[in-house]
Each structure stands twice: as C-alpha cells, then as structure tokens.
Homo-oligomer: A and B are copies of this chain.
C-alpha cells in the first residue's frame, strides 16, 4: 500500500498537471506545496506511486503524469465537492427559471452546464415509460391527412402526420378523438399498445382500416417516448482542449454524434450516494478512452429519472466539474419534480 503522504503527492501531481499540462517533477512539488520534506523524499514516494501505476513518466527523465488509475484514486479520495459560489448558484437558477417548456429546460440546462464547466455537456431526455397519457388530439391537415398529437403528463408532446385510407369528415374525426381519449387518457404508456390495437372493433367495419392506421401512429408515439434521446452542447470545447489527446479528437467527436454510444454510456453509469460519478479513460469505450465523463441523475416527477453530465479530456478539473454537475442536476430535479 502507498503511504498517506504518497497520496498527497498524487494529489499535488494531479493538481499541478491539470493546471499546467506539463509533467510535474519532484522539485516543482516541493516548491509549490508545503510538504516539509526534500525533493529526494518526494522522489521515493513517486517511485512507489509509479509502482502502483498511479502515475507514469512520459520519458525516462521527465516529470510524472497521472494515469487513468491515478485520476480514479484522486477522484475517490479527494472529491471534496465544495458547493458552488453564490454567484454560480444564482446563475443556475436565474437561467433555468426562464424556461418555457420541457424542451426549453433541457436546451438551457445543456448550455448552462457547458458554460459552467467549459466541457461538452450532455443531457438525457427522461424515458417516460411509466408516464400517463394526458390527451390525444387529432388535427385534420387535408382530406386524407391527419396529424396526431400525443401529450403525456410529463409535459412531453409528440406529433406525427399520417395518411388515411379514406376521406375523414369532421364527424369521424370527432368520434375518433372522443373514443381515443375515453379509452386512453390516464393510461400508463405501456398499456397503450394493447388498448390501441383493440380500438378498431368499436367502429363501423368500413372505418376499421383507418382506425388501424391511427392505432399504429399511437404505438409510434409510445415508442418515441421510450426511445432515449439526448442533447449536447459545447463540442467546440473539445477542440480547444485538443492538445490533451494523443490521437485525434476526430473519433471522439464521431462518437458524440452517434447518440447510441452516449446512451449506452449513460445507462451504464451508476450514480452513487454522493450523487455524482466519474468514468475515467479506459473505463469507457474505446473511442472515449482518452476522455472522462462526469454524470449525475435528475428526477422528473415522482418516479422517472434521467442523467446529465459533462465529457472532456481525462485531464480535467474534476472538483469543479463534479460540483457543477451535481448542482445542476439537483436544480433540475427540483424544477421538474415539484409538480
């Protein structure tokens, strides 16, 4: 095991390396931190840390750089997570309180996080699988085209345009709307498909085909609610920190455009009791092996939740970013959970 002091040396190395992007040597540590021992002693500790693979030397005779494992230990040991400054908290609330609807909350949140951390920010849309249907609206667009609008009590709205196999008059649309809402309003989303499938029976035979098309659209709406989505902002920040990547940032950006990768990542992240987690370097997929992802969860309503977080080079300011992610997640939870 490494000594107490060695861990503090690790902390100093992470701290200085994050600040300067230069490998840090024993001399620099005794200069900038009060260890009360000589450089030679620090060197011994560094040899231990290297033994444990917490730090590594880029070349035989240069300073040391934290490894992924080193960052991991740093985060686990020293995540103090001091609360944000008053001004920052103020910025969060005043910015998010202006949101006009659910989409707007997410759009604002992601921009906010990106600005607070100077990293790429990610916000996952909540999977409203157990939300309930609030209302279904049918809007005729032309004689045979109908728009279905599907509203859930989570506040989410989907629309879809369908082509009917017959000309739908006002009366039919009215009947359909009334029966749809009677059958489905208040239902949990997962109950929608069976109910929708059985709807056709309640109509005259010559209308059943048209009702079937509408039922299909409703199932599509449910799928759309189940399908996860996420929004992203601040991709430019990755390019700014390009120097931190030994390869190119190109594969990272490609992975970011591929939502699947990110959704998988989010689904794998377990948020622990402190409310915020980090995945560092090779703990991630191949494409993200030089990045770290800091994540927290937020609640929507009473029983639904999703994640948000930031992504950046492993050489990032974990303390600040973890504090920001946690604070924003908490604020969003309060905003969306209050109803």
A239, B248: Cβ atoms closer than 8 Å? yes
Report the nearest B residue to A137, measured CB to CB: B137
The reply on A233 being an interface residue by CB < 8 A is yes
Segment of A48-56, A157-165, A269-277 engaged in the interface with chain B: A157-165
- Residues facing B in A211-243 (CB within 8 A) are 220, 233-236, 239-240
Which residues of chain B are within 8 angstroms of A134 by Cβ–Cβ distance? Answer: 139, 141, 147
State whether A100 and B160 are in contact (beta carbons under 8 Å apart), knowing that A139-B134, A151-B139, A339-B142 are contacts in the complex: yes
Q: With both chains docked as a complex, state the minimum distance between the C-beta of A328 and any C-beta of chain B, in angstroms.
A: 19
**Pairwise interchain contact B257-A235, C-beta atoms closer than 8 A:** yes
Task: Say which size band chain A's interface belongs to.
Answer: 20 to 34
Does any Cβ of B come within 8 Å of A149's Cβ? Answer: yes
Asked if A151 and B147 sit within 8 Å, CB to CB, the answer is yes
Q: How far is the CB of A140 from chain B (nearest CB, A)?
A: 8
Chain A, 99-117, contact with B by CB distance < 8 Å: what is the 0/1 string? 0111000000000000000
Bound-state Cα–Cα, A5 to B236, Å: 43
Question: By DSSP majority rule, is chain A's interface helix, strand, loop, or mixed?
Answer: mixed
A153 within 8 A of B: yes
Asked whether, in the complex, the Cβ of B220 is within 8 Å of the Cβ of A235, the reply is: no
Q: Which of B100, B220, B236 contacts A254 (CB 8 A)?
A: B236
CA–CA, A233 to B236, complex, Å? 13
B residues in contact with A236, CB < 8 Å = 250, 253-254, 256-257
- How long is the Cα–Cα vector from A240 to B242 in the complex, in angstroms? 12
The answer to whether A239 and B233 touch across the interface, beta carbons within 8 angstroms, is: no
Q: State whether B339 touches A159 (Cβ < 8 A).
A: no
Tell me whether A294 is interfacial, beta carbon within 8 Å. no
Q: Among B145, B157, B220, B339, which residue has its beta carbon within 8 angstroms of that of A149?
A: B157
What are 25 A-B interface contacts by the 8 Å CB criterion? A100-B161, A100-B220, A101-B159, A101-B161, A102-B161, A134-B139, A134-B147, A137-B137, A141-B153, A141-B155, A145-B339, A147-B151, A147-B155, A149-B149, A149-B151, A149-B157, A151-B159, A155-B159, A155-B161, A235-B257, A236-B250, A236-B254, A239-B239, A239-B250, A240-B250
